Amino acid sequence: MGKTIEPTPLITVITPTHNRRETVLRAVESVLSQSMSRLEHIVVDDGSTDGTESALARIQDPRLIYVGAKWRGANAARNAGIERARAPLVTFLDSDDIYMPHRLERTLTWFEENPVLQVLISSFVSLKGSRITNCVNPEAFVSPAMLERTLVGQTIFIAGSAITARREALLAIGGYDSDITRMQDRELLLRLARRFGAQLSRDLDWTKYNSENSISGRRDGYVEAYANLMGKHPHIAHAYPHIPPYMISRQLIADILRGRIPEAFQGYMANRSSKTLGYSLPELMQG
Which tens digit of pLDDT belongs to each residue from 31-81? 999 999 999 999 999 989 999 999 999 999 999 999 997 778 899 999 999
pLDDT digits (tens, 9 = 90+) for 135-176: 999 999 999 999 999 999 899 999 999 999 999 999 999 999
Give the separation between CA 252 and CA 267, rounded to whole angstroms: 7
This prediction's pTM: 0.90
The predicted model gives 115-130 an average pLDDT of 96
Does 192 have pLDDT greater than 50? yes
Does 214 have pLDDT greater than 60? no
Which segments within 61-218 are labelled E, that is strand? Answer: 64-69, 89-92, 98-99, 119-128, 131-135, 140-142, 163-166, 198-209
Give the separation between CA 173 and CA 188, rounded to whole angstroms: 8
Which segments within the chain are labelled E, that is strand? Answer: 11-17, 39-46, 64-69, 89-92, 98-99, 119-128, 131-135, 140-142, 163-166, 198-209
Give the separation between CA 141 and CA 161, rounded to whole angstroms: 19
Provide Rg for the chain, Cα atoms.
Answer: 19
The one-character DSSP state at 9 is P
Q: For residue 215, what pLDDT is reported?
A: 42
Q: Which of 1-10, 168-177, 184-193 has the lowest mean pLDDT?
A: 1-10
CB distance 39 to 13 below 8 Å: yes
The predicted model gives 103-112 an average pLDDT of 98
Q: For residue 123, what pLDDT is reported?
A: 98
Residue 217: pLDDT band (50, 70, 90) is very low
Residue 179: pLDDT band (50, 70, 90) is confident
Sort strands 140-142 and 89-92 into parallel, antiparallel or unpaired: unpaired
